Amino acid sequence: MKTQTSFKTFFFLSLMGNGVLMPYLGLYLANKGFSGAELAVLLGALPLVKVFAQPFWGVLSDVHQIRKSVLSFSLFGLGLFATLFTVINNFSLILFAFVIFSVLEAPYIPLGITLTLDYLESVAQQDQFGLIRLWGSVGYILSTFLIGAIFIDTLIDVLPFIFALVIGLTGLVSLFLPDRANTHARPNWSDSFGILSQNPKFALFLAGIAFTGATIGISGQYLALYMQDIQAAGWLIGLAIALQPIVEVPLMAQTKNIIARLGLPVALFAGLAVLPIRWSLYALVRQPLLILPVQFLHGFTIMSLMVVGPIYVKDQLPPRWMATGQALYSAAFAGIGMSFGLFVAGYIYGAFGMQAVWVVCLVLSIVGLLLVSIAIAGIPRLAPIKTR
């Protein structure tokens, strides 16, 4: 299997697996009989664990130069552990299962990005990252629509098994990915403690990404519930979720040209700037069909967060901390941000309904946009295109 094909297949399968279970996890748990407060704890626990797990996996991978080994281990373990969701109905037990699940899920996306960017940099093709990452969007589109159209109304209980199968296949593909960790200087555990204190603008950037991640996490888990609340059919829910990444594909294919034309700061800012518009529209719309065009805004944000963002992060730290940098970025976005957002959303939803949740998203997205704008102000227009 050619190297770039391996990376494309990895992102296709890994995001396909994500689309099978994660957007429908709140609905899956509600179908098992858990209350709104219990949903808030369970869904909030997943990203909260990542706050600690992702930096740990990142530093471990860099210090011991075992990035691919950790990646494969996490994928095989994740697939095996997901099947436990189908046999556990006790709240305390499933909370424990969610914690282990989150620990195993934490490293595979940041490590996959790290291996990809490191390889592309070694062959002077890092501007091709968007063309590889877009295959993840294709996989996500296929799985979210098919699950919504075929499984969500009558076969939702089998989702963990489908997830386990797809993630297991992803683990097999990960065995073929190249790992250049041993070409970089080996860092020490003690050096990791000064990464953020020595780069305050990077820390401010991560804070902004955390606020942004809070809103994306809320949308990811509560969109299906929101549409069910406004009487949307199962196929329409699946279509709405599948439409989210449609715009990602052409945008990611044009990432090189977008950055060259707009510059890194504008490309990053523009994707985040559509979020306040999106959450405002969610708060106003009550007709299921009107949600569909709003979903296209998602692609602009994800292009910025999942392609431009990792390229920016790669250039903020030395190569020996590449996995750690991506892990910190993922921890801020999918850990701190999403855990905070989901905990808040669970209680707001129970007390005031979904429209109040979208108003909270609006406020959080504006704060995140301001922090990121301050952090990236003054960076070179074409900074991500450089090679070391």
Q: Where are the domains of the chain?
A: 3-178+199-382
The model scores a pTM over 0.95 = no
Hey, which bits of 316-355 come out as E strands?
none
Q: How does pLDDT run across 189-216, given as a tens digit for each residue?
A: 666 667 777 788 889 999 999 999 999 9
Q: What is the arithmetic mean of pLDDT over 8-15?
A: 95
Q: How does pLDDT run across 20-66, given as a tens digit for each residue?
A: 888 788 788 888 888 877 887 887 787 788 888 988 998 898 888 88
Residues in the chain: 388
Q: Is 70 exceeded by the pLDDT of residue 188?
A: no
User: What single letter denotes the amino acid at residue 177?
Assistant: L
Between the CA atoms of 311, 106, 214 and 340, what dihedral angle is there, to the nearest 10 degrees? -140
Furthest C-alpha separation in the chain = 56
Collapsed DSSP state (helix, strand, coil) of residue 64: helix
Q: What is residue 157's predicted lDDT score, i.e. its pLDDT?
A: 84
Residue 201 is given by DSSP the state H
Q: What is the CATH number of domain 3-178+199-382?
A: 1.20.1250.20
Q: What is the arithmetic mean of pLDDT over 269-278?
A: 94
Output the six-digit token pair for 98: 């969610």
pLDDT bracket for residue 227 (50, 70, 90): confident
Residues 6+ apart with CB under 8 A from 126: 117, 120, 311, 314, 384, 385, 387
